[in-house]
Each structure stands twice: as C-alpha cells, then as structure tokens.
Chain A
C-alpha cells in the first residue's frame, strides 16, 4: 500500500474490495461522494470471493435480460426458507429479494455482462443470471466503472482497526496508516480463511478443511467490530462446507474443485467403510451435506469410487482420477487397504438389484439389505477400469456476521452507529442463517452494497 496517495479528506472509506464494496463505492461516487476502497488483497487477487462467483439470483416478473419466464418474490422466498430452514430475517430477506429485480439492469448499466446459463446448469436459467466470464469479469467491470467515477483504490491495504467514538466512526487504521473519513462501509467478508478462528469455532478438524475462496477473508474487521460491542447475527461455530476434490489447493481452488461423481459412486472413509447414503437425492441438493459428512470422518477425508459405466455421467474433474483395473489396486493407489475396499465393494455389489438406471432423476434403484443403504443409482461396481476421487470438506463461507438494519446500518447494543454501514458477506448471516442458495450471496452483496453506498452518501452530502 502506498500511503502517500491516500491523503484525504475522504467522504467515505470502503473496507473490502469485492462485489458489495464495489457496489457501495460506485453508488456513493455517483451521488458525488469522494470514496476510497481499501482492498486487503494485492491487485491480481482483488475482489474477494466475488472472483469465484458465477451468477446472480434475481426476482423478475417476466423475461429479463438472459433470464427466462418469471421468478416471483414468494417463490424466491420459499426457496430461501427451504435451505435456511427458517433461519432468516424475513423483512431483510424480502428487501433483498424485491430489490434484486432493479439490480440486474443497474449491473448491466455499470459494465456487467450476462450470458445464458452455462452448459450443465439449465436448471438455473430461470432463476440465476450468469456473468459472462464469471465473477472476475464482473469485478473487473466494477473496478473500471469505479475508476471512471474517480474512486481511489488501494491494494494490499488490510484494515486492522475501526475507531469508534460513542455512536460515531472517526477513523481507521490500516496497519500503520491512519485514515479519516466522514463515513465508512464495511464489506470485508467473513472469516473463513482464518484457520485459527475456524479451528477455535469448529474444532481441530477444521485445520484439514480446504478453503474454496480467497485467502484474504480473515475476519480482521469483523473481529474488531465484535470486540467493540457491535451486534452479531449467525451461528459463530458454523461454516458452509461442500465436498470437493481432496487434491485442491488449500485456498482459492474455486469452482473447478467440485466433484459431481458422488451419486454414481460409493464413498468410503480412511478405513474403506461406507458411512452414508450416496444416492439420497440429486447432487445439487446434497453436495453441502457431504461437506459435513466428510468433515465428520477420521482425517476429514473420503474416497468416491466409481467404475467405467459412470465416468461420463458428470462434469469433468480438474484433477484426473486414480485409475486401476482392480479395486484392490485402486485402493492401494489411494492409500487405502485394498482388500478391505474390495470387501466393501463386494458387499455393496451383492446388495444391488436389477432395475433401470436413470442418471438425471431419482430412479429408485436402491440397495437391498445394506446399511447404510444407497437409495438411488445403486449399480454394482463391476466394470473396469475403476476410478477413485479423494474428497475433502471445502469451506465456502462463514455465517457469523454483523447485524444491520434495513438501511444496512451497523448496530451496537446502544443503538446504530451513525456513520457506519455494512454489506455483503460480513452481514449476510442475517438473511442466510443456514444452508446456501446459489447466486444469493451476490444478491445480498449487490442489494446491500447499493443501500450502504446510498445511505453513506446521503449522510455526507
């Protein structure tokens, strides 16, 4: 960070450099405010987890941009209730949902380009608008728009402390630099890349989790605000984790580390034993459960085994699978006891029964007399070559965040902080208290980023 260029005075300082931060900065700058973005990542990694996103879940009354048909408020809200099991703040959730329809044209007007649903995601063509080139293209477009509006951006600028006096934010510290501003927006994400915090919250097993997104969401500002008595929402011990390729990088593996093979496989643990029904439901409804399941196994690792019949039934994996002509050999390749794996497979094969197999629907082809059962897609593993994929839990985001009002204002027990707003993952726990709804994180970030930018600009004008 070059502190020389950061001399104020600033109207609004925005902590964070992802989607919510950029929406806030652009909105504030368009309202005439002098805005500064402090992004903790270096420039190539700017954009937080938004870099890895791919779509925006959007309410719409009729066909809108690339979105087909319609997606009304109630259906959207029902979808949210289904995944959160009711853990949501209904007024805030409905505000996000209702505002999303206006957001899409706003996004297009600020440089974001959409494309029709990607191959293999047709089920989302009605509800989710995909970004042309994905989230990094969106982030680039917003940085360019912000730059054109005169917003200043500092990279490698990790904010370490927000200074509050009474019900006012006065200045912040970014390591040794002190920056004053008349208002601030916090959009610095969750704490999922802070392994120390994760292990404190979840237990020592969390040290073996992979972090799917940015290594820069360390929760420094979130911790600082909580320590100063800001009100929190969301379960502090929980994170959203999915089962991903166990060979993925520790951080930032993103979309390509997903593995869609589980429904067609048997999944065993380190001891070559099965532990859960692999065919309980279609994969989009089960991948998050498998994050937890694998996290609960010894060593936080699982192994999905398929045979040649299934290799083309799912999206290609980023790393080639282990491959062998016998189960024993495959097991040995993956560091498992080959004989025990062969026994597990033999037991599974013996429990399979004849029937018709339909990879794209619940086909009811289940095992007979096996515990745990496999309820669908249970075909014997009998056609070499056999393939194996290692699975590990991959953390997407954490739920703990700051409680905000419907104007995105941050609160302490004594009431609102008059010139401090929050947007994006740092406050998403209010709305998404459990589970995950594809593309909804970007909706929350965009809606509340714009609200925070608007409110902060109104405060300083």
Chain B
C-alpha cells in the first residue's frame, strides 16, 4: 500500500470533512461524515466510491494556489488506481497494462497475429458461417480459458479488496441498492442530474454519463448476445450462424452500436478533460483500453455487415483478436473498475445501514 498516496488523500479528506459544502454531489461526502478518523481501508473505500465527476474540485475554495492545495478527485483517483494494482493478481501485470497503452496495443497485435495464424492453420473442412473458417471446437478451446482465467484472477482481487474496505456478508438488499446506483450511474449525475464537470471544466455536462451508459449497456447487451448464442448452441442445439431476428443478433447489434458510439464518445471527452484531476499516469492505458473496447464493438458490427463477402476471414480474425486481448487484459485494465465500483457500492450500502 502506498502510504504517501493514502496519507495525502487522508489529509484532503479531513479538510473536506471540516467543510462539507460538497455533500450534495455524490456518495463520497455523506460517507466521509461517518468518520472523524480515517483508517487506510476507509480511504480506499472512499477512493473507490468516487466516480471522478469532479464537481467537488471546481466548487472547492481550497484548490491551488490556496495553501491547502486540494485536488480531491486526483487524490482519490491515485489511491483508487493504486488499490486496483495492489490487489491485482498477478500484480506486476497490472501496473504495466494500466499505465501503458503501448503494452495493451502489443497484446492486441499478438492476439490478432494469433487469430490470423489459427485461421491459416486450423481451417476446418466444413462448417457454416464463421465456422467455415474456424471450427467451433477450436474457438471454445481458445476462449473458454481466456474468459475463465481472468475471471478467476478478478475473484482473487475482489476477495482481498473486500477484506481491506471492511465488507460484510453479502445481502440482497445491499446488492439491490448498489445495482440501482450503478444502473443509473447516480454518482456521475452531479447530485441533481446536471451531470459532472469533465470536458467542460466548471460548467456541468451530462455527456460523460450518457456515453458511459452506452458503453455499459452496450457491453451488457453484447455479453447477453454471446450468452444467448451459447444457450442456443448447447441447450437448443441451434448452432450459428443466426439470422437478423434471432436473439443473439437482436441483442448484439444494438449492443455493438452502443458500445462503439459510447467508447468513441468517452475517448473524445477524455481528450478535452483536464488530466491533472485524475490519475494522470494511467491516461495512456485508459485511452488504449477505451479504444480496444470500442474496436471490439466496431469490428463485431463490421463482421456482421460483411457476411458473405471475402472480407469475412480477415474481419473474423481482427474481431476475435480484439475479444481475446480484451478478455486476457480484463484484470489489468480500466475494465476492472466495474468490479471494484460495484463491490464498493455494495459495501457502502452496508456501511450506511450499519
């Protein structure tokens, strides 16, 4: 644990606790009024509760050049980022991929090369749709571990994080409360639905919440589409390809569009926001992750649009390469924030009721 980062966040938290003007913006400020003294776990909890809406920064009378030098969103972002890297398993990979967009790109390139290689060498004798190029069995052999191993890593991380922030036994009521908050991205709405202070500095804007909602629901739709396909394949014995009015396509096409548009939007906003109000050292890694996620959606759509053309094998390799890189890097990129955020929202529900 970085004592410097925690100590700095604690210093700022104590100033905020003596002020409390920002109580109406998000869950962080009501949460910090529960304490007078902040243990390291409390600071980590607050840091992960913060969604970096930045309302408090632009409203703060103690930002630099004031000698109190408050930059609460950045202080919490640094602690939050460090907590993700500290709890990650294996740990050294986390820092590398969180910080380095180049490293993420390298994994992507490797994924693409691997998939192109598979297409060259494992081309099946027969099969319909994509399976004409890559057998179902080969896909499962590759993607099942590429999906399950990262999830196992995430589970290990969350367990140790949960202990650090003092999470109790999981209860339905807390999960429901956290889900309600996450579903509306309540902590990004500025407290009154006016949005946050991201790309327009001290003016409010709700764009970031809209784009993030597009990404989140787009991702969930795509995930649901894949799950539907799995069920159709194994339970109903209806293998791909699926028509335009099948469940995988009805979920996947809107999901892909939302994911692509949302990621493009978030990346655009990120170029306009002040990097000094977040964890500046991971800007590149975050940007590369957003690009990778967006590319996953866009190449999926392109692949569907190219059905029946000669572009299918190349697009298939590109899309699957993106998917592979995305899943392998899941525990070590910004994607991990979803897990930590949700866990924190659950624990916040617990603490609020305690």
Contact = CB atoms under 8 A, between A and B. Distances in A.
Interface of A: 44-45, 51-52, 54, 113, 115-116, 118-120, 130-137, 140, 144, 249, 252, 254-256, 258, 311-312, 315-318, 320
Interface stretch (B54-62, B117-125, B141-149, B292-300): B54-62
Contact of A118 (B20, B36, B203): B20
Given A115-B191, A144-B202, 6 more contacts: A132-B24, A132-B192, A134-B22, A249-B68, A252-B66, A256-B19
Contact of B58 (A113, A137, A249): A137
Nearest to B204: A113
B17 to A, nearest CB: 5
A133 B21 contact: yes
A54 B20 CA distance: 10
B63 interface: yes
A54 B19 CA distance: 10
B65 interface: yes
Contacts of A311: 36
A371 to B, nearest CB: 34
Contacts of A136: 58-61
Interface in B30-68: 30, 33, 36, 55-56, 58-68
Contact of B61 (A118, A119, A134, A258): A134
A133 B202 CA distance: 11
B23 interface: yes
A249 B67 contact: yes
Contact of A255 (B19, B59, B63): B19
B18 interface: yes
A47 to B, nearest CB: 9
Contacts of A113: 192, 194
A316 B35 CA distance: 9
14 contacts: A44-B64, A44-B65, A45-B65, A52-B61, A115-B23, A115-B191, A115-B192, A119-B33, A133-B25, A136-B61, A137-B59, A255-B19, A318-B14, A318-B18
B61 A135 contact: yes
A130 B22 CA distance: 11
Interface of B: 14-15, 17-25, 30, 33, 36, 55-56, 58-68, 191-192, 194, 202-203
B20 A119 contact: yes
A64 to B, nearest CB: 16
B61 A316 contact: no
A44 B59 contact: no
Contacts of B58: 133, 136-137, 140
Contacts of A137: 21, 55, 58-59
A52 B62 CA distance: 10
A131 B22 CA distance: 9
A140 B15 contact: no
A116 B33 CA distance: 16
A256 B65 contact: no
Contacts of A44: 63-65
Contacts of A144: 202-203
A316 B20 CA distance: 11
Given A51-B61, A249-B67, A318-B14, A134 B194 contact: no
Most buried by B among A140, A311, A312: A140
